[in-house]
Each structure stands twice: as structure tokens, then as C-alpha cells.
Amino acid sequence: MQFASVRIITHDVPRLADFYEALTGLPAERVAEVFATFAAPTGTLAIGHVSTFGDATPRPGTGAAIVEFLVDDVEAAFARAQELGAETVLEPTTMPWGNRSAIVRDPDGTLVNLFRRPGA
């Protein structure tokens, strides 16, 4: 088995793809109106429309998952997220295990952790 990606479900793929393009600096591959992906050397983030699930549609922004991005500068990434209108959940903080972390909510309410490891 090989890990492929994490997918966020939304009612508005273009809006969420725009948000993650601006936040990460990665280009979205918009393969269909209902699906986009962001490929990074360490993994892939996918964004899919609720319509692709039929009766089994997950509700956007209600899961317990956190999308995490390893960043060089937590404060700069946090400031960028705020400029994009992300809701602040946790301002830049050093966690008990040493990570420097800031947590925001994307436009649909999904938690996004912007973090740096100790000593980085």
C-alpha cells in the first residue's frame, strides 16, 4: 500500500483551490471543475466537490482532520493566511514537543497547521 493524498471536500472547488494556491505557492492542477490537486515533493493535497459522492457526501469543514504544512517561517505563513481571510485558531506558538505552530481555518472551516520543527 502506498499513501497517495489527502482530499478536502467542498461546495466550491475554485475558491478553495485559489486559497491553497495563494497559501502554499503551489500551482493547482485543475483537472476538472469538480477536482483539483496540489503536488508537493512530500505528498499531494486534493480538493473535490461534494457532488462526486452522491448520497454518501461528506459535509465540508466538519471532520476532525488537520491539513499540515511544514514551513520555513511560521509567522510569515500565518500572516499570509490572515491576509487570505483565514480564521485564526492558534496564533504562532511553541508546542510542548518543540514545534513552532500556527493553526487557521480555510474558507470551508478545515483546520490548517502551519508548523516548523525544533531547530529548523
pLDDT at 55: 65
The 10s digit of each residue's pLDDT in 20-46 is 999 999 999 998 999 999 999 989 999
Q: What is the CATH number of the domain that holds 72?
A: 3.10.180.10
Task: Count the Cβ atoms, other than its own, within 10 Å of residue 44.
Answer: 14
Cα distances (Å, whole numbers) of residue 94 to 59, 67, 105: 32, 18, 19
pLDDT at 58: 67
Number of domains into which the chain is organized: 1
Contacts with 51 (C-beta within 8 Å, 6 or more apart), sequence order: 34, 57
The 10s digit of each residue's pLDDT in 58-100 is 676 666 678 999 999 999 999 999 999 999 999 999 998 999 9
Its domain, for residue 77, covers 6-53+61-116
**CB contact at 8 A, 73 and 62:** no
Q: Is residue 1 part of a domain?
A: no
Q: Is residue 101 part of a domain?
A: yes
Contacts with 97 (C-beta within 8 Å, 6 or more apart), sequence order: 118
pLDDT at 2: 75
Q: Is residue 14 part of a domain?
A: yes
Q: Which residue has the higher pLDDT, 119 or 116?
A: 116
pLDDT at 120: 72
